[in-house]
Amino acid sequence: MDRPLNAARRSGYAGPVQVAAAVECPFCGQHFELSVDTSVASQVWVTDCEVCCRPFEVRVECEPGTVLSLEIAAS
């Protein structure tokens, strides 16, 4: 007997691709969360700290639904 549910799961991930990732500001040490679009496998962007407003670089490696690695660098 065929199992359509399992087949659908195997054919591709269909869950949410926006994942909250915890980061730490390289300037003031504040921890906060960023929303990461995990549908993009590898991405780099610059964001501002929510507390001290200094810009830093965020580098993430993803697979859909999961953040594989996340690095922070002072830009």
Binding site for Zn ion (CB under 5 A): 25, 27-28, 30, 49, 51-52
Least distance to Zn ion from the beta carbon of 21, Å?
Answer: 16
Nearer to Zn ion, 23 or 49 (CB): 49
- Taking the mean position of all CA atoms in its chain, how far away is CA 24? 14
Least distance to Zn ion from the beta carbon of 23, Å?
Answer: 10
Nearer to Zn ion, 30 or 66 (CB): 30
